[in-house]
Amino acid sequence: MLFACLDFQVPLEALKKDVFRLHNAEWLPHVNQKDYQGNWDVLPLRCLAEHKSAHPIMQGFAVQTGDDWVNLPVLEQLPAILQVLSSLQCSIKSTRLMRLHAGAQIKPHRDLGLSIEFGEARLHIPILSNELLEFRINSLLVPMREGELWYLNVDQTHQVLNRGDHERINLVIDCVANDWLKQKIQESSLCVKDYNDNQCLSAI
């Protein structure tokens, strides 16, 4: 499965309040600068315990090995995000806010091994978005909207383009694909859209 919208209650307005509290936070430019054009930055919320006191660049890496993941101090200021994380019945690894500025694009790339087939899952919750935001996996448009929880198979080629006039901010959660999460994914419905005409082809 490439992507799926999960049946999950998301406290969108509370999440937006959390994001607005972060106007003075120090967001970091994404380290993989060859993979994007424009401005794409990250605010780490959870990291490996060994990096808790390290430079935020180390805390912002997502694909790392280790079992001891901890909350960073900024997360204590974000009650709605904490609520979401505590509601997920699976082990949470890296968690971060990712901001793609207006006019920016993330080039086609893969995050190898990040799919349920490898026991890992990446979840996205759009908190701030717009109708001109395009997120594609294997050229298929992922119809994500604000306040939805999505599983994305980022082991496949994916890309993002923000054609809108304001930033997109997603809560991005990497977690263990346990039986609970696999069941949520299997029970979900998704709409596959054609790359060219943007028409709904089928529900899988």
CATH assignment at residue 12: 2.60.120.330
Q: Domains in the chain: how many in total?
A: 1
pLDDT at position 61 is 56
SS3 148: coil
What's the token pair of residue 153? 């198979």
**Burial of residue 53 (number of CB atoms within 10 Å: 0-12, 13-18, 19+):** exposed
Domain of residue 161, residue span: 3-203
Please tell me the distance from the alpha carbon of residue 72 to that of residue 31, in angstroms, as a whole number. 19
Please tell me the distance from the alpha carbon of residue 129 to that of residue 103, in angstroms, as a whole number. 13
What's the token pair of residue 128? 């701030």
For residues 162 and 129, the answer to whether their CB atoms sit within 8 Å is no
- Other C-beta atoms closer than 10 Å to the C-beta of 133 total 22
pLDDT in tens, the chain (204 residues): 899 999 999 999 999 999 999 988 989 998 888 899 999 999 999 988 766 655 555 545 555 566 789 999 999 999 999 999 999 999 999 999 999 999 999 999 999 999 999 999 999 999 999 999 999 999 999 999 999 999 999 999 999 999 999 999 999 999 999 999 999 999 985 544 444 444 443 334
User: Quick one: angle between helices 12-20 and 79-87, nearest 10?
Assistant: 140
pLDDT at position 24 is 86
